[in-house]
Structure 1
Amino acid sequence: MGITQAQLSRLENGPPVVHLDRLAHWAKILGIPGVLLWFSLPDAWLSSSRETAGRMGVPGPDCHDHGNLVGSPATTASFEVSTKEVVTTDRRQFHALAALAGLGSLGEPGFLAMLADDSPSIGLEHVRMASSLVKELRQADAVAGANQICDVAIDVHGRLSSWAVKARYSRDVGEALQASLADLAAQTAWLTIDAGRRAAARPYLNDAIARARLADDPQIEVRALAQLALLTCDSQPTESLHCADAALRISAGWATPRLLTLLHLRRACAFAALQNRNAFEREMRKARQELERGPHESDPEFIHFVNVQEVQGLEALSFLSLDQPRRAAEALRVAIANSSPAHRRNRVYYRVRLAEATHREGDVNEAALMASDLLPEVRQLNSRRVTRHLADIRSTVGQLPRPAAPVRDFIEAFDGVAVR
């Protein structure tokens, strides 16, 4: 962008930029199609914008269809942003569009558009680009939130899967392709979970496990089983425990300490949901022991979030499952105090759960004050998994017969911003 990091920081934290020449220049650099901007690009740049839009499957600047982001007629992705909405929103909207534009122009020009064609063959270079999609989706998720890119991931996974069925490739390429698709399926599953579409996650996890078996890739299989344990913990804790057990068996002999930490945490949460306190405490001790062994050069990328905060946070949520809100609140305060700026979503999520624990302790007014303070940050996260818990607090306090002023203020603020 031709600016220093200090300048970027001032742009992010200062008043909105209104100089159209600078905005247009940055839009061109980031490859954002004109149809996704609230201002018009100069005529000289329209062809470039149309080209980028074509790669994304987004209608060009001369089209009024603000529909699918990746261009599949079957996808439900929609990004209808009015001028008023863009002007009044904060910088997260710009970051979201930039992240999505980055996905659209990933790798060689036309890669995503190529998926719509009946390409006759697949080579290792295609597999490499497909594999890099997982990293791009993870980075876009960190910037824009799962709500913004969930449909993008679903559409891309569908296109790649369809392409893999139709195209020709060697046995070596086939194994690499199955592993790449398994990893993409697992990432798509996580995005559906965080976007509040939990029912859609299981098919992608089943697909990830099957493809990981075909590719003989136990690491991806363990990742999918760990996510399946997370998905089923509240509703089917016995199945959650079986998934964590299977992941431990498969990873025996090669699991790093941080991966073992995650798997023992999954077991601990399942035992808490099953009201088995002794087993829960045993698994928490094991998780802490493994975490103390530190990071390893062989740590898989998908466990980047496993840290002290995650251990403390999941212990706190388990206390909620065990109906111990006081201990949950204490553990959540520690987790929040140890939070990392790189895991902002987890920090906000645990603050919302702290408000829930405070309410369950009996301090309804304090919980309402905490929830009111969280409203702006929750809106910016684009994570329905987080907003769902805040909505649960709203629903619970809304049933009070004579709510005090803090509760009334929270209800009015929540309903006023229409958190989704």
Structure 2
Amino acid sequence: MTHANCPRCGGRLARDNDSGRCAPCQAAERDRLSAPPVVPASFWEHEPVRRALAERHLGRVIRAYRCHPYHGRAALPQTVVAGWLGITQAQLSRVENGPPLVHLDRLTHWAQLLRVPPCFLWFSLPARLTEVAEHDAVPVKEAGPTAPPALTDACIAGSTQGGGTTDRRQFHALAALAGIAATGSLDLLAAPHNAARSIGMEQVRAVDSLVNEFRRADAAVGANRLCDTAIRVHAQLSAAAAKATYSRDVGEALQATLADLAIETAWLTIDANRRPEARAYLNEAITRARFADDPRMEVRAFAHLALLTWRDRPGEALHAAEAALRSSAGWGTPRLATLLHLRAASTYATLNDMSGFHRAMSRARREFERGVSEDDMPFLHFVTEQELKGIEGLSYLALGRPERAANAFRAITENPSPVLRRNQIYYSVQLADAASRQGNLDEAAYTAMNLLPDIGRVSSGRVSLHLAQLRSSLGQPQRATAATRQFVEAYDQAVHA
């Protein structure tokens, strides 16, 4: 008997619809094939899933996941899910039907990949990985031209083995990259003479999984420690793809995936305060997205281009935001439209166009109030009320209104998000800057000083840059108070420790 409603979104199905899902949900299927979808909380309450979790058998959990009615009448094929996990279909069949997995590294990685809520698991995720699994987030603000002393590195204690700061930093980077190694995707990074001469869809999925692991590692250790690795991976995969042969369908998927890798590399260079390097990656991403006829990837690249240029080249940033809005017309979700209007709003502020700024912010707010969508691209998770306030604050700073900027940033710090910690720290630094510009030197110093213990957990060049600039401003003799002297002393000790 034909179901009257789509099991995924609840929409009514047409009488002649025999696919089991409505047209919009079918349109979202292409994205779903490359990575696990973001499923609603009720997904994990489905009886077969709950039973498999109670049996503590991850293979059976995966089988129940594949057969969940959320995916439609037909179960997800083993080949698709195996591609997500970085294994073959035959290996997945053995995992589902064999004895329970006992290797914690694989249990941890696959539970993260499928976004199984930690409260349902029978094993504990490491604290950092639990945070990333629940709150994978991407920060979005701009950096200045010159990097400050590496406060984040200096704040990291030496290794318990006596290796010092560098060894400890490398250890954290390697730990975060362990998930990348677990995907098996690094097999694609063989020396050029060993590179595959032909590429299939399974390898494209492996590269897609690799990009997702870079995002998770970024959330765990920050851009500074991943930027060079991402650049090297991008160069090797691009070179291998240029020499390989593949079918037309594989070629389109490969171009879209390499565009995604280029965007991620560009983001890491932006957050590591290496902004001049980002443009080439974004230009490449736009070209590859057009080769693949993938408007979603093209819009993502334009959104990052607007982020890159909104301070230095606001005219170009505005063109990029408007191009993204045009390209996404008809299929873009409210959260995507929110982000693009925010990009335009900050650009109008840089251009000192108050009316344009208010117009764009109003549009962003209207779209935001429409709520989230199951078709939201994963990178949009950071578009929250906090982000709206943050962009508003940065825009008021650009417009020379530090008092209004401080109010916006204060609203963020008074209602901290446990999800977007890097953005929380970034906007707290901006609050200190806004207070300093108002002449509230003690508030600026206390706000900045309270951040010092947290900075060591965030390896972000642009955060370190803004804090260094604040130290320089508050360290001027004519601005000396007991609070500013205390902050300057604490900052200098942290940098030179």
TM-score bracket for this pair, using the shorter chain length: 0.7 to 0.9
Displacement after TM superposition at 1:357 (Å):
0.5
Task: Indicate yes or no: 2:236 matched with 1:163.
Answer: no
Displacement after TM superposition at 1:133 (Å):
1.4
Task: Indicate yes or no: 2:433 matched with 1:356.
Answer: yes
Distance, in Å, in 1 between the alignment partners of 2:244 and 2:467 is: 46
Aligned position for 1:333: 410
Aligned position for 2:482: 405
Question: Is the CA contact 2:189–2:195 (under 8 Å) kept in the aligned structure 1?
Answer: no
Deviation per CA, 1:104-162: give whole Å up to 9, x if none.
33236734337772321111110000011121111111111111111111111111100
Aligned counterparts, 1:314-333, within 5 A: 314-333=391-410
Question: Is the CA contact 1:30–1:98 (under 8 Å) kept in the aligned structure 2?
Answer: no
Q: Tell me: CA distance 1:359–1:151, structure 2 relative to 1, closer, same or farther (3 Å).
A: same
Distance, in Å, in 2 between the alignment partners of 1:127 and 1:177 is: 6
Q: Normalising to structure 2: TM-score of the pair?
A: 0.65
Of 200, 210, 213, the residue aligned with 1:133 is 210
Q: Tell me: CA distance 1:371–1:93, structure 2 relative to 1, closer, same or farther (3 Å).
A: farther
Aligned position for 1:69: none
Q: Tell me: CA distance 1:372–1:94, structure 2 relative to 1, closer, same or farther (3 Å).
A: same
Look up the SS of the partner of 1:297 in the other structure. Answer: coil
Deviation per CA, 1:297-354: give whole Å up to 9, x if none.
1111111110111011111110101111111111111123344212110111111100
Aligned counterparts, 1:239-254, within 5 A: 239-254=316-331
Distance, in Å, in 2 between the alignment partners of 1:231 and 1:84 is: 33
Distance, in Å, in 2 between the alignment partners of 1:167 and 1:150 is: 26
Distance, in Å, in 2 between the alignment partners of 1:328 and 1:173 is: 48
Task: Indicate yes or no: 2:446 matched with 1:369.
Answer: yes
Question: Is the CA contact 2:185–2:210 (under 8 Å) kept in the aligned structure 1?
Answer: no
Look up the SS of the partner of 2:159 in the other structure. Answer: helix
Question: Is the CA contact 2:223–2:272 (under 8 Å) kept in the aligned structure 1?
Answer: yes
Aligned position for 2:159: 86
Displacement after TM superposition at 1:177 (Å):
0.5
Q: Tell me: CA distance 1:388–1:108, structure 2 relative to 1, closer, same or farther (3 Å).
A: closer
Of 244, 252, 264, the residue aligned with 1:187 is 264
Question: Is the CA contact 2:188–2:195 (under 8 Å) kept in the aligned structure 1?
Answer: no
Distance, in Å, in 1 between the alignment partners of 2:174 and 2:227 is: 14
Distance, in Å, in 1 between the alignment partners of 2:492 and 2:181 is: 35
Aligned position for 1:103: 180
Aligned position for 2:144: none
Task: Indicate yes or no: 2:335 matched with 1:258.
Answer: yes
Distance, in Å, in 2 between the alignment partners of 1:108 and 1:249 is: 35
Displacement after TM superposition at 1:247 (Å):
0.5
One-letter code aligned to 2:321? A
Displacement after TM superposition at 1:178 (Å):
0.4
Displacement after TM superposition at 1:30 (Å):
4.9
Distance, in Å, in 2 between the alignment partners of 1:416 and 1:338 is: 30
Aligned position for 1:19: none
Displacement after TM superposition at 1:95 (Å):
5.0
User: Structure 1: 5+ residue runs without aligned partners?
Assistant: 1-27, 32-79
Distance, in Å, in 2 between the alignment partners of 1:329 and 1:92 is: 34
Task: Indicate yes or no: 2:312 matched with 1:235.
Answer: yes
Task: Indicate yes or no: 2:289 matched with 1:212.
Answer: yes
Look up the SS of the partner of 1:110 in the other structure. Answer: helix
Task: Indicate yes or no: 2:431 matched with 1:342.
Answer: no
Distance, in Å, in 1 between the alignment partners of 2:170 and 2:457 is: 9
Distance, in Å, in 2 between the alignment partners of 1:205 and 1:109 is: 23
Deviation per CA, 1:34-84: give whole Å up to 9, x if none.
xxxxxxxxxxxxxxxxxxxxxxxxxxxxxxxxxxxxxxxxxxxxxx99x97
Distance, in Å, in 2 between the alignment partners of 1:316 and 1:109 is: 41
Aligned position for 2:126: none
Question: Is the CA contact 2:255–2:289 (under 8 Å) kept in the aligned structure 1?
Answer: yes
Aligned position for 1:22: none
Question: Is the CA contact 1:92–1:144 (under 8 Å) kept in the aligned structure 2?
Answer: no
Question: Structure 1 stretches (4+) deviating beyond 4 angstroms?
Answer: 28-31, 91-95
Displacement after TM superposition at 1:378 (Å):
1.4
Deviation per CA, 1:207-226: give whole Å up to 9, x if none.
11110011011111111111
Aligned position for 1:291: 368
Q: Tell me: CA distance 1:210–1:382, structure 2 relative to 1, closer, same or farther (3 Å).
A: same
One-letter code aligned to 1:126? Q
Task: Indicate yes or no: 2:347 matched with 1:274.
Answer: no
Further displaced range: 397-406 or 272-281: 397-406
Distance, in Å, in 2 between the alignment partners of 1:116 and 1:388 is: 41
One-letter code aligned to 1:167? A
Higher relative contact order (CA 8 A, sep 6+): 2
Q: Normalising to structure 1: TM-score of the pair?
A: 0.77
Displacement after TM superposition at 1:186 (Å):
0.4
How many residue pairs match? The answer is: 344
Deviation per CA, 1:225-261: give whole Å up to 9, x if none.
1111011111111111111011111111111000000
Look up the SS of the partner of 1:380 in the other structure. Answer: coil
Of 466, 471, 475, the residue aligned with 1:394 is 471
Aligned position for 2:226: 149
Question: Is the CA contact 2:185–2:209 (under 8 Å) kept in the aligned structure 1?
Answer: no
Aligned position for 2:136: none
Aligned position for 1:305: 382
Question: Is the CA contact 1:104–1:112 (under 8 Å) kept in the aligned structure 2?
Answer: no
Distance, in Å, in 2 between the alignment partners of 1:289 and 1:376 is: 37
Distance, in Å, in 1 between the alignment partners of 2:479 and 2:263 is: 46
Look up the SS of the partner of 1:101 in the other structure. Answer: helix
Distance, in Å, in 1 between the alignment partners of 2:496 and 2:441 is: 20
Distance, in Å, in 2 between the alignment partners of 1:137 and 1:276 is: 37
Q: CA-atom RMSD, angstroms? A: 2.5
Q: Tell me: CA distance 1:138–1:371, structure 2 relative to 1, closer, same or farther (3 Å).
A: same
Question: Is the CA contact 2:188–2:237 (under 8 Å) kept in the aligned structure 1?
Answer: no
Distance, in Å, in 1 between the alignment partners of 2:421 and 2:315 is: 31
Question: Is the CA contact 2:345–2:361 (under 8 Å) kept in the aligned structure 1?
Answer: yes
Look up the SS of the partner of 2:420 in the other structure. Answer: helix
Displacement after TM superposition at 1:29 (Å):
5.8
Question: Is the CA contact 1:387–1:419 (under 8 Å) kept in the aligned structure 2?
Answer: no
Displacement after TM superposition at 1:102 (Å):
2.1
